[in-house]
Amino acid sequence: MTTDKNNITDTAAPRWNLDSIFPGGSGSAEYRDFRKKTRNDLDHARDTVNRLPATLDDDSVSNWKDFILELQRLGLHISLASSFVHCLISQKVDDDEANTIYGEVDVMIADWYNLRNSLEAFSVKQSDAVWEKFVSLPLLTPIRFYLDELRRNAREKMPPELESLVLDLSVNGYHAWSRLYDKISGRIKVEFQDGDKLETLSVGQLQNKFLNPDRGIRKRAFTKFQEAWQEEASLTAAALNYQGGFRLSIYKHRDWDSVLHEPLRMGRMKEETLTAMWQAVTKALPQVTRYIEAKKKVLGITEFCWYDQFAPVGKLDMTMTFDKAGEFIIEHLGSFSQEMAVFSQMALAKNWVEGEDRPGKADGGYCTGMNLIGQSRIFMTYGNDFGSMTTLAHELGHAYHQWVLKDIPYLATEYPMGLAETASIFNELRVTDAALQGVTDPQQKLMLLDQILQQPFILFCNIYARYLFDGWFYDERARGVVSRARLDELMIKAQKEAFGEILDPTDGYHPLFWASKLHFYYTEAPFYNFPYTFGFLFAGGVYARASREGKEFAPKYRALLQDTGRMATEEVATKHLNLDLTDSAFWDEAVARSVAYVDEFVKLADELS
């Protein structure tokens, strides 16, 4: 297979193609019928499971097997319904009809989990011998890991009827706080004067100003950003407290004594692994500080503030149009795996990417899988720069990960968040390395080194601050509502510990980060922070192996990705990399590798300052 660069032309960043899935957007008749059919099938499955016997015998084995396969099929359909409406709202945050559909899909998701609760209740009533024989059936063997995990987790939960009640209440309670936050964030509009131009910006567009080389613009944007969130802080504090309180109440009734119990279980990883990782990360602070001190020299500043984190240095006229970015990504992925290159070319040619820069879009970027139709969609706002190119490569990595799983049974494709970052970070490292090797101009090299080192800086400081804040917040929330003023204090405390002496103690902190960062309000996953750092360091280990072995590693890499949904995180590392993730040695090496360019950056910064 070969790639044809001539198929990619220099045009503006595209809008994605959603009509090929369901034509007509939120008003699509096909999408409405699809949801209606899925709703009816859910109701039928509920009626079916209610008639099934509580224990297995020769007569009921086939019926229970069929129910599990139907549960899997329904999961595929609901996943597509959910991904599609997520896309609709992302491309137009004030799409009221899509927001209504979002609530409808939330109910279907809750009902699916209620069906799974019935399976959990059934699983714990079977003897080990009977269960072993059941999950060894040919049609269930491919999803055996999922079923065994489900049975283990069921033993840690409340009785099924209480778990079902929790799911029902979560739709209009727990998850509703997350939806409310999305609405608050989406409605914020800020007037910003940039030269002679007065702009009305979303908070996402305003954050893009933090990338501006003019520190005055960055500072004014940050001030506006703080003011905007200050106006919403009482509402976001309520949302954070109430969703946190909901979560803690559930933990109490499940007898879970640690707030890390759920995120570790969802991450399919051991606490020893997480502890070893953070211990290695904190050792890197002196090197990260050296990087920032050198960057301050280049920027000509004496104090480093929150809005300086993404300040560009080096050559600034490196324009990377969307089409040129596609060419670059395809070329350099192809030097490792032709399949990855051909896949990326296909995704771009079929308009799976929403990249257009326009108002009314949601903030951030993501890739959502649509396993039922063997596709994905990527959401971002492309900015014609190197950073946007690496974001595109990152999201194409996620899409490739989902692509290699498209023929695997759905219940064997639910990989944890830490492993979810493997393919995306791998792609980032691939294209960044290629860009660095291709430059000789000192200013451009400085810029690329800065882009590389921003990753560990953000993941070791910014993300660690989020992790610390989460832990302290839940500790205090367990004793009562945490005031919005106290949330500011906890956030500054977390930033002081995570960033060390990097941030200016007078004006350098971002006390409202707890309000402005949507990750704190993501109810699908508690502690939605450490998986990013884990994924970055783990992917770095995978990439190091790929760099040593070359194209011979490509099929091994594909096999690793295929196993991410059907074994524990530590097992994936042991099987495919012969690594023990609970051993600090791996993490120390991974951290050292990630900051290996600090010396080169410091030397070059000194020469150019």
| Per-residue pLDDT reduced to its tens digit, 489-519 | 999 999 999 999 999 999 999 999 999 999 9
Average pLDDT over residues 420-437: 94
Q: Which residues pair with 151 in a beta bridge?
A: none
pLDDT for residue 3? 41
- Determine the topology of domain 226-315+455-552+572-594 in CATH: Neurolysin; domain 3 (1.10.1370)
pLDDT for residue 386? 85
CA 526 and chain centroid, separation? 12
Which ranges in 257-321 belong to alpha helices (H)?
261-266, 271-283, 285-299
Q: Reduce the DSSP state of residue 566 to 3 states and report it.
A: coil
Given a contact cutoff of 8 angstroms between Cβ atoms, the answer to whether 569 and 416 are in contact is yes
Q: What confidence category does residue 211 fall into, taking pLDDT thresholds of 50, 70 and 90?
A: confident
Alpha-carbon span 462 to 101, nearest angstrom? 34
Alpha-carbon span 12 to 322, nearest angstrom? 7
Q: Give the Å distances, CA to CA, from 27 to 22, 23, 98.
A: 10, 9, 8
CA 382 and chain centroid, separation? 18
Average pLDDT over residues 562-584: 96
Which residues, 6 or more positions from 348, have their beta carbon under 8 angstroms from its beta carbon? 8, 326, 330
Q: Give the Å distances, CA to CA, from 68 to 72, 168, 180.
A: 6, 21, 34
Query: Token pair of 201, please?
Result: 């910006």
Query: Token pair of 305, please?
Result: 């503030």
pLDDT over 90 at 205, yes or no = no
Alpha-carbon span 464 to 469, nearest angstrom? 9
Nearest to 586 by CA among 536, 530, 538: 538
Alpha-carbon span 101 to 32, nearest angstrom? 9
pLDDT for residue 382? 94
pLDDT over 70 at 316, yes or no = no
Query: H/E element holding 471?
Result: helix 463-477
pLDDT over 80 at 270, yes or no = yes
pLDDT for residue 317? 66
Nearest to 359 by CA among 99, 93, 97: 93
Average pLDDT over residues 394-400: 97
Overall size of the chain counted in residues: 609
pLDDT over 50 at 7, yes or no = no
Which residues, 6 or more positions from 213, have their beta carbon under 8 angstroms from its beta carbon? 311, 312, 316
Alpha-carbon span 566 to 568, nearest angstrom? 7
Among the ranges given (81-90, 161-170, 328-337), the one the predictor scored with the smallest mean pLDDT: 161-170
Average pLDDT over residues 410-418: 95
Q: Which residues pair with 194 in a beta bridge?
A: 197
Alpha-carbon span 52 to 241, nearest angstrom? 40
Which ranges in 157-214 belong to alpha helices (H)?
160-172, 174-187, 203-208
Which ranges in 335-383 belong to alpha helices (H)?
338-349
Q: What confidence category does residue 75 fall into, taking pLDDT thresholds of 50, 70 and 90?
A: very high
Amino acid at 536: F
Given a contact cutoff of 8 angstroms between Cβ atoms, the answer to whether 253 and 169 are in contact is no
Query: H/E element holding 198?
Result: strand 197-201
Query: Token pair of 302, please?
Result: 């004496």
Which ranges in 550-583 belong to alpha helices (H)?
554-563, 569-577
pLDDT over 80 at 92, yes or no = yes
pLDDT over 90 at 387, yes or no = no
Crossing angle of the two packed helices 128-135 and 61-91, in degrees rounded to 10: 70
Name the phi and psi angles at 194, rounded to 5.
Answer: -120, 95
Nearest to 466 by CA among 400, 533, 398: 533
Q: What confidence category does residue 186 fall into, taking pLDDT thresholds of 50, 70 and 90?
A: confident
pLDDT for residue 195? 85
Residue burial 131-158, b: 16+ Cβ < 10 Å; e: rest? beebbeeeebeebbbbbebbbeebeebe
pLDDT for residue 91? 95
Given a contact cutoff of 8 angstroms between Cβ atoms, the answer to whether 319 and 10 are in contact is no
What is the maximum alpha-carbon separation in the chain? 79
Average pLDDT over residues 402-430: 95
Q: Reduce the DSSP state of residue 194 to 3 states and report it.
A: strand
| % of the chain at pLDDT higher than 90 | 85
Q: Write down the domain spans for the chain.
A: 226-315+455-552+572-594
Q: Give the Å distances, CA to CA, from 377 to 184, 373, 410, 431, 436.
A: 25, 11, 18, 21, 29
Question: What does pLDDT average to over the chain?
Answer: 94
| % of the chain at pLDDT higher than 70 | 98
pLDDT over 90 at 172, yes or no = no
Query: H/E element holding 366?
Result: strand 366-370
For 230-265, give the DSSP string.
HHHHHHHHHHHHHHHHHHHHHHHHHT---TTHHHHH
